[in-house]
Amino acid sequence: MLGALADGAGTVENLLRSADVESTANVLRTLGVRIDLDGGYATVYGLGLGRLAPPAVPLDCGNSGTTTRLMAGIIAAHPFEARFIGDASLSRRPMRRVAEPLEAMGARVTLEGGDGLPMTVHGATLHSIGWTSRTASAQIKSCILLAALTARIPVTVTEPRLSRDHTERMLRARGVEVTVDGSTVSLGVAREFPAMPVTVPGDPSSAAFFVALAAMLPDAEVRLPDVCLNPTRTAFMNVVQRMGVPLESAEGACTMGGEPVGTVVARSAPHLRAVSVGADEIPAMIDEVPILAALATRADGETVVTGARELRVKESDRIAAVVSNLRAIGAEAEELEDGLIVRGSDRPLRGSVVTHGDHRLAMAFGVLGALPGNDVTVDDPDCVAVSYPAFWDDLRRVSS
């Protein structure tokens, strides 16, 4: 997205060709951006801030909430309208949370489905706001920041807790003034927005599955190179260390874009301990809660997760789906309004899992199914293509 808004051609290396990335590329192409993809390498021919073309067809975002919410901000600063559509799962996800700040900035947003897609964003001349978000969400924050960037206006966003900061880092790397004070982010006016080469680091959410696998396998060691060690993404690693997982991370050089990167090494945990995880840690590990719940099935004691109400509006209601599937395979678990409880044991886990098309559920229960003595069947293994198309091949290779 930033490459499309930049002046000139920029490159992206180590690109993951997942369904979400393909959805983003197709949306940008619909808006007049030329994108050449060759394996994990992309060239994006940026049109400049505010210069995207009016779309002739709706913008199909597939399963990607990130594509929808961030592009809504970008479209809001253009002198045209665009209709956003997506698959059944995405169409159920809440969009009013981005519609409200965009309307406060001067755009008009029509939500045909009540709170979900289809959504039409009517662009306008935007004005600055100071927005206080009820939810610590990088997607809401980034929507507002990208709207302001494209409109060349300053903006301030305050969250209950600081969420992921990849957008801020990438903007700063391109010369935009970004300041952070606690959980308040302020964006200055972009005088220039140059194209640049970007290298994508390894995804810590994807790495989490193999950290958990190593912890639960006997006599295992998994080495994960070039993982993003951004502190707004590493809460899962902190939590599993409290659980007793031998984990090392050695930070190396930063990538272009200001992301710290390093090698993560995880080993078998001789004794896993239950932990409590609360609202302060959740924003930095929101996508890792399903694999944390899987790991908790092998821990001694009762693992309690609270402050994770946001999981109810992900690709599925992840709280309900994780708990029901844990019970279906013989684990003890219960729902909380804003989280869950998992009671660990050493008994084999066996049964069928209903993923509801949710890639992170499929991968979390796939890890449990790879453990000796367990027999877990995932109903829709292909849904992992949303974020990690090679997951099953990598899982077989690592667990064999």
- Residues taking part in catalysis: 287
Contact 65, 22 (CB under 8 A): no
Tokens of 21: 């990335």
Which helix or strand (DSSP H or E) is residue 378 part of? strand 375-378
Contact 138, 98 (CB under 8 A): no
Contact 353, 367 (CB under 8 A): no
Name the DSSP class of 186. Answer: E
Alpha-carbon separation of residue 256 from 11, 56, 169, 261 (angstroms): 11, 34, 10, 11
Question: What does the chain come to in residues?
Answer: 400
Contact 27, 60 (CB under 8 A): yes
Contact 246, 297 (CB under 8 A): no
Peptide bond connecting 204 to the previous residue in cis, omega within 30 degrees of 0: no
Among 348, 398, 344, 41, which residue's Cα sits nearest to residue 206?
A: 398
Please list, residue by residue across 173-211, b when 16 or more beta carbons sit within 10 angstroms of its beta carbon and e when fewer do. bbebebeeeebebbbbebeebebbebebbbbbbbbbbbb
CA dihedral 278, 280, 282, 284 (to 10 degrees): -150
Contact 20, 62 (CB under 8 A): yes
Place of tokens 């990088």: 138
Tokens of 232: 């707004």
Contact 354, 377 (CB under 8 A): no
Q: Is the alpha carbon torsion for 170, 171, 176, 177 positive or negative?
A: negative
Contact 153, 128 (CB under 8 A): yes
Q: Is the alpha carbon torsion for 279, 284, 287, 293 positive or negative?
A: negative
